Chains A and B, each alone.
Chain A
Amino acid sequence: MEKSFQYSESELILLLRQRNEQAFSYLYDHYSGALYASILTIVIDEATAADTLQEVFIKIFKQIDTYDSLKGRLYTWMLNIARNAAIDTTRSKGFQKSQQNQSLSENVYELAGSVTIVADDLGLRKLVHRLRPEWKVLIELSYFEGYTQDEIAKLLSIPLGTVKTRLRAALKELHKLIKE
């Protein structure tokens, strides 16, 4: 399979919509590493991450017709599928069991604190780790664990407005760190 040439994003999407195997292979070669890393930052376990990635690529293939380039780039769309799938995995019964049956709220605090230590050197977490603690916990809960801002406000007993403001400030900072 050729790897030397590059598709433009619109060519790639057109070929994917035609169920072109070569284009899908290119998509996999080009993005599987980035998506795998982002799944891994959420589910931590490598075997689980690989299963999730498989599920994600099947979904990308089957749902490519619902992708709308006006709403954003292809990678952004794929990342959202990957992140949602990864969070769903962490919330599934089997996964919860493997995490020693912690109750949901305990789990939140535990993960917010402990898991970051495990995977600090992975992808976005590397940068999130450099944020202020009150920002870090918000990104942890919302991005890596998929809690809504309402849920976070209740969990941490801080006003919803504060959650929103801090989260946006944290994301701006994260964007700055990424560009460094």
Chain B
Amino acid sequence: MNVQDYIKSGIIESYVLGMANSAEVAELQQLCIQYPEIKQALTEVELAFEQHALSNAIAPPPALKQAIFNQLKPEFNQAISSVNSAAAQEAPVVSINRTARFLAAASVILLVISGGMNIYLYSKFKETTKEYQALVLEKNTLQANNQIMQTKSLDMYNSMQMMTDPSMLKVSMPGVQGKEANYATVFWDTKSKDVYILPNKLPQPSTGKQYQLWAIVDGKPVDAGIISDCAGLCKMKNIPTASMFAITLEQMGGSETPTLSEMYVAGKVG
């Protein structure tokens, strides 16, 4: 059907003025649901006639309002409108039967409303539960990440404390010939003789290989420990004396003697 033709046909006007027959009324109400344009046209026609009627209003006799309200007095909802009911004393005359009927009707209406609310709230509840579960998951992940960060940051703090200790001797180990880009630092506690290594710049060891730290004592290499992947400072073996430190790349698990061809960095003490 052509919506515009229908709107222009005059049938909407006849509906608004109550002149349409029942078939036309049923059709228009159906079309209003189907076509928003028709519903809008209906409202426009209604408003036009309503505005015209309001601006051409004629005041009815003033006494009429009071007559109507007197007649309806017992029917008004006293609980809400008791403010201006001078005749409130008359209210108890209302029969219990009527009150009971109102209460029954009100409770049925409330029941229907509450049923609707239940459905609405339940769907809302399910939605919220889903959102809540997603949030809990996200919270747990964030908390775990946060703990990791805290641990790392604590390690860093401890490392920093050690590095800045006055009794800590710093031994810089620049890259050897051909490996100048590499660099590592040994921190040697002159009191406890504990050795810590900070692998500032060493290439990632290939699989099956590990870096090993050596202390040169009286011209001979002494194993100072294998460098595992620790954050910040790695604690190595206790070395009482040494003139030099060096790092070589060895088989996984370390070697007895260093493979000199695989030396990466070395530095003299002092």
- Binary contact track B54-74/A, C-beta < 8 Å → 1, others 0: 101111110011011101100
A24 touches B76 (CB 8 A): yes
Count residues of chain A with CB under 8 A from any CB of chain B: 56
In the complex, whether A93 has a CB less than 8 A from a CB of chain B is no
Q: How far is the CA of A61 from the CA of B15 in the complex (A)?
A: 23
Q: Count chain A CB atoms within 10 A of each CB in B11, B57, B58, B72 and give the residue with the most.
A: B58
A72 touches B59 (CB 8 A): no
Q: How far is the CA of A175 from the CA of B46 in the complex (A)?
A: 10
* Secondary structure class of chain B's binding surface, majority of residues: helix
In the complex, whether B47 has a CB less than 8 A from a CB of chain A is yes
- Binary contact track A1-36/B, C-beta < 8 Å → 1, others 0: 100000000000000001111101100100111111
Q: Which residue of B lies closest to A28 (CB)?
A: B65
Q: Count chain B CB atoms within 10 A of each CB in A36, A62, A169 and give the residue with the most.
A: A36
Q: How far is the CA of A122 from the CA of B53 in the complex (A)?
A: 10
With A21-B85, A149-B21: A167-B10 Cβ-Cβ less than 8 Å: yes
- Binary contact track B5-42/A, C-beta < 8 Å → 1, others 0: 00011110111111101000000010011000000001
A72 touches B76 (CB 8 A): no
In the complex, whether B52 has a CB less than 8 A from a CB of chain A is yes
Shortest distance between the CB of A97 and any CB in chain B (Å): 24
Q: How far is the CA of A76 from the CA of B48 in the complex (A)?
A: 11
Q: Count chain A CB atoms within 10 A of each CB in B13, B43, B46, B59 and give the residue with the most.
A: B13
In the complex, whether A73 has a CB less than 8 A from a CB of chain B is yes
Count residues of chain B with CB under 8 A from any CB of chain A: 47
* Secondary structure class of chain A's binding surface, majority of residues: helix
Instruction: Specify which of A18, A22, A143 is in contact with B17 (CB 8 Å cutoff).
Output: A143
Shortest distance between the CB of B247 and any CB in chain A (Å): 82
B contacts, CB < 8 Å to A: 8-11, 13-19, 21, 29, 32-33, 42-43, 45-54, 56-61, 64-65, 67-69, 71-72, 75-77, 80-81, 84-85
- 4 other contacts beyond A168-B11, A168-B14, A172-B13, with CB at 8 A cut-off? A21-B77, A36-B60, A148-B21, A172-B9
> Can you give 19 contacting A-B residue pairs, CB < 8 Å?
A21-B77, A24-B69, A24-B72, A25-B65, A33-B59, A34-B50, A36-B60, A37-B53, A50-B61, A54-B68, A61-B72, A70-B33, A71-B29, A73-B43, A75-B50, A83-B18, A168-B10, A175-B10, A175-B45
